[in-house]
Amino acid sequence: MAAIRMSIEIPKMTKFLALFRPGLFDQLMRTHVSRATQQNAAFAVAAIRKKIQNGKDFERNADLTIALKGEDKPLVGRGTAELFKSITLKKIDPYEAFVGVLRTDDGFNVAATVHDGVAIKVTEKMRGMFFYLWLASEGRISPDKLTGRAAELFAIQQVWFPLSKETTTIVIPSRPFVDVALADPALRRRMEDNWKRSMGFVFRDMKRRFLSG
């Protein structure tokens, strides 16, 4: 996933002062830059959530997915609310923060799968489920006979078809909502400006504290 890094040229005078007061320099960095890092992480969370809601930057849903979700826009549907809420931040140190999804379901990170894409091998169990869904949609068996995931899917949609023998893999294309959001030049400028402003506060306070003794 994408990361935002930047470098800031520290004025020679500030470098000189930092040599004499390294503890003060570290303290000011942790105060001002740490606050900017937290703010920038919050900016990124908001940008990622906006991309999820919008969905225009990603490949449209496949016909099977549309049938399952009842929606052709990617990253939109009943599960989107969970994905939206799952986007979070965690500050690692004053200069670095994680933004993304930490939650997993039985150790499986669904958001990472959506973000990076995956190819799912069709099992006989999956093939059988779609076959029984087709039987129910044709009226050959009562929908009451369906259980588990099949019953859930039939409640969403009542028209189904069996998977063809040629369908051996179901591909979920990558929809890199984090990478796309962090690549936005406007967001990157906003975050860089925020970090540079925080460094300006460090330079200012270094001079003030040093001159005041």
Give residue-wise pLDDT tens across range 119-128. Answer: 889 999 999 9
Q: Name the residue range of residue 131's domain.
A: 123-167
CA distances to 139, 152, 155, 164 from 144, in Å: 11, 11, 11, 25
Percent of the chain with pLDDT strictly greater than 90: 30
Q: What is the pTM of this model?
A: 0.69
Residues 6+ apart with CB under 8 A from 178: 1, 2, 48, 99, 100, 115
Residues 108 and 186 in one domain: yes
Question: Is residue 209 a part of any domain in this protein?
Answer: no
Q: pLDDT digit string (tens) for 159-213?
A: 888 988 888 998 777 888 888 899 999 999 999 999 989 988 988 888 887 767 5
Give the chain's mean pLDDT. Answer: 81
Residues 90 and 112 in one domain: yes
Kindly give the pairing relationship between strand 87-93 and strand 96-101: antiparallel
Residues 82 and 144 in one domain: no
Question: Which has more pLDDT, 86 or 30?
Answer: 30
Pick the closest to residue 77 from 69, 67, 85, 66 (CA basis): 69
Range picked from 20-29, 38-47, 196-205 for highest mean pLDDT: 38-47
The predicted pLDDT at position 132 comes to 95
The predicted pLDDT at position 41 comes to 94
What token pair was written down for 162? 């069996």
Number of domains within the chain: 2
Residues 104 and 129 in one domain: no
The predicted pLDDT at position 73 comes to 61
What token pair was written down for 126? 């999956």
Q: How many residues does the chain have?
A: 213
Residues 144 and 80 in one domain: no
The rounded distance, in Å, linking the Cα atoms of 143 and 136 is: 5
Question: What sections of 5-94 are H helices per DSSP?
Answer: 12-20, 22-28, 34-54, 63-69, 80-86
